[in-house]
Amino acid sequence: MKPAFEPAPIEEHWRRRWAQLHLGRADPASPKPSFSIALPPPNITGVLHMGHALNAVIQDSLCRYHRMRGFEVCWVPGTDHAAIATQNVIERQLAQEGTTKEELGRDAFQERVSAWYRTYQGRILEQLQRMGATCDWSRERFTLDAAYVRAIRRVFKDLFDQNLIYRGPRIVNWCPRCRSAISDEEVEYREHQDVFYHVRYRGEGGGEGLVVATTRPETILADVAVAVPPGDQRFQALVGTSVEEPLTKRLIPVIEDPAVDPKLGTGALKITPGHSAEDFEIGERHHLPVLTVISLDGRMIAPGLPDLDGLDAESAREVAASLLRQSGALVREAPLVHQVGHCDRCGAVIEPLVTPQWWVRVAELAAPAHRVVAEGEIVLHPEHFKRQYLDWVAGLRDWCISRQIWLGHRIPVSTCANHHVFAWIDEPSRCPECGDTNLQADPDVLDTWFSSALWPFAILGWPEETQELARFYPTTVLSTGRDILWLWVTRMIMMGLRFTGEIPFHDVILHATILGADGARQSKSKGNVVDPLDMVDRYGADALRAWGAAVAMGTQDCKFDESKVDGYAKFANKLWNMVRLLQHVHFPQGEGRIPGAGESAREELTLADRWILSRLARLTDTVTAAMEDLELGAAIDGIYQFAWRELADWYLELVKDRLAEWDPAALWTTRTALLRTLELLHPIMPFVTDALADQFEGQPDTLDLANWPEAEPAWLDPAAEEGMRGFQQLTAELRSWLQDLGVRFGRNAPRIPIGISTSDDPEMVAAIRDHLGTMVPVTWEEAPADTLEAMAPLVVGGTTVRLTGAAILESPQIRGRMERDLEQVRKLRTRLEAHLAGPFATSAPEEVVERERSRLEEAVRREALLRHALAP
C-alpha cells in the first residue's frame, strides 16, 4: 500500500471489476425482493453538470445499499432526446457558423442532430460511470428508441380515443423565436420595467369615454371590448355603450366582468382575446370575436396602418405610443414593474397567440395524481413539497402538448380527405373509417415532457407485459432536482396511474439545486460552473460522492463549497492509512491480505475494545436508520465522525502497542471495527472501501456483495462508554495543562510525574492504568488525595489528578489557568445551585435532575480544590 490514497488508478481498477462482475445487472427471475430506480434521463444537450452528479450519487448509494441488504436492484439508465432543448443548442451552433436550419434543410439538420446525439450520449454514460454509477447498462434506453416511440403512440392513441386529447384553437404561450407553442410550465417569468400607457377611448360620437391603462398599446388594434368591474360607479354610464378604439376608431362595446380589478390601472381593461390569456377567457365568457394582429414570427399584421405593419412587437409598441400621442389619446405614461413571460429554453418574450394546438384534458388525470400523494402512497422528500404539490395539481389547466419544431416525436394523427381524424400506432395508408388513401399527417411534434412522462414504465417494456414490468414496477425511488417537479414528476404520476393503474414510484427525492460558490445559479456566462469530472480528477469520485451525500437533502439550494470535497478526499486518505496501520502490524516488511481473527471472548476485551464495539453498534444503527430514511447526509456524517474522531484518534492510538504485541483481542477488535466501517461507508464511497476491504482475507469480490451489517445489541456497553468519556476528558485536560507548561509531546519526550487519586470507578482506574501513559507523556502514581501536595488539581468525574513538582507551582501559565478555571467553575456552581433550588428540581424528569446534581457535586469539589491550591 502506498503511503497516500491515489484515487485515479484505484477507481479505474474497480470500475472494471464491477463491470466484470455485472454488478448492475438486474435479474427479473431472482427470488430477492426488488429495488428499482429509473434514472432521470439527462437531456442530451451537452455534458453533465453538478446536479446530474449529485443525483447519480444519491441513486447509486441507494442501489448499493439495497444490494447489500439483499435486494435485486434494477437501475435503468438512459437519455432524453430533449427535442426543443437540443434543437436550440444546434440552432445556436448553426448561428455561430453563420447559417440556419432552414438553409441547411431538414435532412442535413437531422444528420447534425444524430451526430450530436451519438457524441453526447456516449459521453454522458461514460461520465456516470466515472462517478461509480452501477446502472444496468444492458438496459440503457433512449426516448427515440423504436420501442419507446411505440409506447408514446399507444399512450397518445388511448388518450385520443378516450377523448382526453383534443385539438383546438386556443390561446397558447407562443415563442416567436422557437416558432412553437410551449406549455405553461415552460414559461419563465422575469421582471420587466415597462411603461404603463394610459389611453383614452372616446365615447361614441366623441364623448369623454374612458381611460384604459396598458403596457401593450400595439395590441389596441386587436381590442374587441373594454371591460370594467361590475357595478363600478365610475363607468356605470358607459356600460352597454360603445367606445372608439383609438388607433382605427373602431367601435367596441363596454362590458362588465368580475375578472377586472378596480384597483389596477384605471380600473378599465382593454380586452384583446387574441393576445392575452386572461382576455381570451373574458372574451369567451362574453362571446367576443378574436382578432389577431401579431403573426407567428412576432411581427405586426396591420395592413391598414403601414407605420406598424411588419414591425416586431417592441418597435410596434413605440410607434403605437407615438401615434396615440399625436392624436392626443395618450393621456399619461408611467413606469411600471411587472412580470413578463419568457421561453425557458431560448429566453425570447412569449407572445400569447391563438393557434390550433393539441391539448390533454388534465382534470381527469390530475384527480388520481392528487389522491396518491394526499394519501401518502407516494411520499415526497423533503416532505414540505407535499402541500405544494397538492395545491399545484389541484389547480392544473389543460396541457398544451403540440410543438411546431423540427425535432421530436410526431403527433401520431392523420386526417383523410373526408375530414376523419384518427390517431394511430403504426402509420396507416388508408382511413380506417372511409378507406380514403389521401391522408394528411399532422405536422406537429409532441412536447418532450409528454414522452418523458412515460419513462418509469416505458423503459421496462410497457405496453408489453414484460417480466421486468411485473418485477420492477412500480419503481421504488425517484430522485431528481426540484426544478422539474412540475414539468416531469407530476406528469409521470398522472401517466403512470392512467396507464399502469399503479403509482410509478413510492418515494420521490427532490434534491437541492447546486449553486455556484458565489451563490448564483451556475451558468457559463457567469463563469461559476463546476464540472463534476474536474472534481473527480482532482479529489476522486469518492470525495465527490461523499460531498453529494452530505448536501443532498438540504432544505435550501446549496452553495458549492469545494473545501468540503477536499475534506472528504482527506477522509479517504485517512481511511487508507487506518487500514495501512493494520497492514504494517501483520506484514512489517512486505504486504499481504490481513488474515481473519477469531472473535475474542468478552472478558478478554479491554475498556477501549468494549468502548469502540459499543460505538460501532450504535453507528450501525444510526447509519442503517439514515439509509432507510433516505438521509444520506446523516449517514456520511455519522461514519465520518466515528471513523476519524473515535476509531482513528482514540481507539487506534490506544491499541497500537497491543497490536504490536499481536494481542488477539486488539487484532480482532481493530479488524472488526475497520471492516464494519468500510461496509457502512461502501454505498457512499464505494471505490476506497472496496480497495481497502480487498486488503483483508475472506472478503467478497466487492462489498456490494457483502451483507449489510446488523447492529450487535450485545456490543452495547454504556459503562464502557461512560468510562471512556471520563478518560478522554482527563486526557484532554492533562494535555492542555502540559501544553501550557510547554511540555514536549513525543515518543522520546521526558515524562512528567503526576499523582492521581481515583474514586471507586473501576473503569477509570483500568483506563488510567492501561492507557494514560500512551496518550499523554506522564508517569503517575496513585495516592490518596490528602497525601499529595495540593497543586494544580484537576477533577474529572470521581477522579482527581494533581501535577506535582515545584516547577509547576511556579509556572505563571498554570497559575493563570487555575485562576480562569476557578472563575469558570464558580460561575457554573452558582448557576447549578440556582437551577436546582428552583422549580426545575421538582418538575424536570428525575434523570435530568440527577445529571445536574452530579455536575454540581463535581463543580463544588473542583472549586474547593482550586481555591485551596491557589491560596497564598
Smallest gap from residue 788 Cβ to RNA (A)? 24
Among 145, 278, 722, 770, contact with RNA (rule: CB under 7 A): 278
Between the alpha carbon of residue 722 and those of residues 618, 620, 715, 871, the distances in Å are: 14, 19, 14, 33
Amino acid of residue 314: E
Question: What 3-state DSSP class applies to 309?
Answer: coil
**What is the footprint of RNA within residues 814-843 (CB under 7 A)?**
838-840, 843
**Quick one: which H or E segment has residue 641?**
none
The minimum distance between CB 791 and RNA, in angstroms, equals 19
Q: Which of 250, 521, 618, 769 binds RNA (CB under 7 A)?
A: 521
Pick between residue 23 and residue 366 the one whose CB is nearest to RNA: 366
Q: Which residues, numbered 388-417, are part of the site for RNA (CB under 7 A)?
A: 388, 391-392, 395
| Complex with RNA: residue 578 or 768, whichever CB lies closer | 578
Integer angstrom CA distances of residue 766 from 436, 720, 802: 97, 11, 18
Smallest Cα–Cα separation from 274: which of 253, 289, 259?
289
x/- string (CB under 7 A) for RNA, residues 645-684? x--xx--xx--x----------------------------
Interface segment toward RNA; rule CB under 7 A; list 12-20, 107-115, 187-195, 201-209: 187-195
Q: Which is nearer to RNA, 20 or 555 (CB)?
A: 555
- Could you give the 3-state DSSP secondary structure of residue 251? strand
CA distance 472 to 73: 9
What is the closest distance, in whole angstroms, from the C-beta atom of residue 543 to RNA in the complex? 9
Residues 636 and 738 sit within 8 Å (Cβ to Cβ): no
Residues 6+ apart with CB under 8 A from 479: 37, 40, 55, 58, 59, 62, 508, 509, 511
Residues in contact with RNA, total (CB under 7 A)?
89
- CB of 553 vs RNA, minimal distance in Å: 8
> Of residues 569-628, which lie at the interface with RNA (CB under 7 A)?
569-570, 573-574, 577-578, 580-581, 584
Measured CA to CA, the distance from residue 448 to residue 460 in angstroms comes to: 19
Which uninterrupted H or E stretch holds 72?
strand 72-76
Give the neighbor-by-neighbor strand order of the sheet with 187-201: 210-214, 187-201, 330-343
Nine cell digits for residue 354: 391563438
Give the shortest CB-269-to-RNA separation in angstroms. Answer: 4
From the CB of 840, what's the least distance to RNA, in Å?
A: 4
| Footprint (CB under 7 A) of RNA, residues 706-745 | 732, 735-736, 739-740, 744-745
Q: Which is nearer to RNA, 20 or 843 (CB)?
A: 843
Restricted to residues 68-107, the positions that interact with RNA (CB under 7 A) are: none
Question: Of 148 and 737, which has the nearer Cβ to RNA?
Answer: 737
Q: Count the Cβ atoms, other than its own, within 10 Å of residue 735.
A: 16
The residue among 30 and 736 lying less far from RNA, judged by its C-beta, is 736
- From the list 102-110, 365-373, 602-610, 844-852, the region that binds RNA by CB under 7 A is 844-852
Distance CA 806, CA 257 (A): 96
Residues in the chain: 872
Measured in Å, how far apart are the chain's first and last C-alpha atoms?
59
Q: Which of residues 537-566 bind RNA (CB under 7 A)?
A: 554-559, 561, 563-564, 566
Q: Which of residues 336-375 bind RNA (CB under 7 A)?
A: 336, 338-339
Stretch that binds RNA, among 110-118, 242-250, 265-273, 300-308 (CB under 7 A): 265-273
Interface positions, 737-796, toward RNA (CB under 7 A):
739-740, 744-748
Q: Which is nearer to RNA, 157 or 559 (CB)?
A: 559
Q: Where are the beta strands (DSSP E) in 516-589?
A: 558-559
C-beta of residue 244 within 8 angstroms of C-beta of residue 201:
yes
CB under 8 Å to 530, separation ≥6 — which residues?
49, 50, 514, 516, 517, 522, 560, 562
Stretch 214-233 residues interacting with RNA (CB under 7 A): 214-216
Residue nearer to RNA on the CB measure, 8 or 251: 8
Task: Tell the smallest beta-carbon distance from residue 219 to RNA (Å).
Answer: 8
- In this structure, what C-alpha cell is assigned to residue 90? 444546434
Cell numbers at 190, concatenated: 422575469
Exposed (0-12), middle (13-18) or buried (19+): which is 253, by Cβ within 10 Å?
middle
Closer CB to RNA, 326 or 556, in the complex: 556
Residue 761 cell numbers, joined: 470507578
Alpha-carbon gap, residue 220 to 321, rounded angstroms: 10
- The site map against RNA for 188-207 (x = CB under 7 A) is xx------x-----------
Give Cα separations from 145 to 80, 158, 218 (angstroms).
10, 20, 46
Site residues (CB under 7 A) for RNA, limited to 464-493 = 482-483, 486
The region of 160-168, 299-307, 332-340, 751-759 touching RNA under the rule CB under 7 A is 332-340
- Please state the closest distance from residue 255 (CB atom) to RNA, in A: 13
What are the cell numbers at 479?
Answer: 430522485
| Nearest approach, Cβ of residue 422 and RNA (Å) | 32
Which span sits near RNA by CB under 7 A: 124-132, 275-283, 435-443, 620-628? Answer: 275-283
Residue 866's closest CA among 807, 796, 819, 831?
Answer: 819
Residues 26 and 44: their CA atoms lie apart, in Å, by 25
- In the bound complex, what is the minimum distance in angstroms from residue 836's beta carbon to RNA? 10
Look-up of cell digits 502497542: 657
| Cα angle 703, 705, 709; round to 5 | 70
Among 8-16, 41-49, 212-220, 248-256, the segment contacting RNA (CB under 7 A): 212-220
Binding test (CB under 7 A) with RNA, winner from 698, 845, 871, 872: 845
3-state DSSP assignment of residue 789: coil
Smallest separation, CB 476 to RNA (Å): 23
Among 270, 370, 491, 586, binds RNA (CB under 7 A): 270
State in angstroms the smallest separation of the CB of 479 from RNA: 17
Q: Kindly state the helix (H) or strand (E) to which residue 242 belongs, with its residue range.
A: strand 242-244
CA gyration radius, the chain = 37
- Given the complex with RNA, which of 113 and 330 has the nearer CB atom? 330
With respect to RNA, which residue has the nearer C-beta, 5 or 148? 5
Compute the CA torsion angle 743, 747, 749, 752 (nearest 10 deg).
70
We find the least distance from the C-beta atom of residue 587 to RNA, in angstroms, to be 12
CB 621 to RNA: min, Å: 16
Stretch that binds RNA, among 238-246, 382-390, 414-422, 455-463 (CB under 7 A): 382-390
Q: State which residue, 155 or 199, has the beta carbon closest to RNA.
A: 199
Residue 97 Cβ, how far from RNA at the closest point, in Å?
Answer: 32
CA distance 152 to 141: 14
Q: Which residue's CB is nearer to RNA, number 113 or number 623? A: 623
Task: Report the residue from 848, 850, 853, 868 that binds RNA according to the rule CB under 7 A.
Answer: 848
Q: What is the CB neighbour count within 10 angstroms for residue 358? A: 23
Q: Please give the C-alpha separations between residue 65 and each of 534, 686, 727, in angstroms, as whole numbers.
A: 26, 10, 36
Helical H segments across 755-811, by residue range: 762-775, 806-810
Is residue 798 part of the contact set for RNA (CB under 7 A)? no
CB of 750 to RNA, least distance (A): 13
Positions 2 through 31 that interact with RNA (CB under 7 A): 3-6
Which of 169, 519, 592, 596: binder of RNA (CB under 7 A)? Answer: 519
User: How far is Cα 867 from Cα 870, in angstroms, rounded to an integer?
Assistant: 5
Q: Which residue's CB is nearer to RNA, number 19 or number 834?
A: 834
Q: Which is nearer to RNA, 199 or 477 (CB)?
A: 199
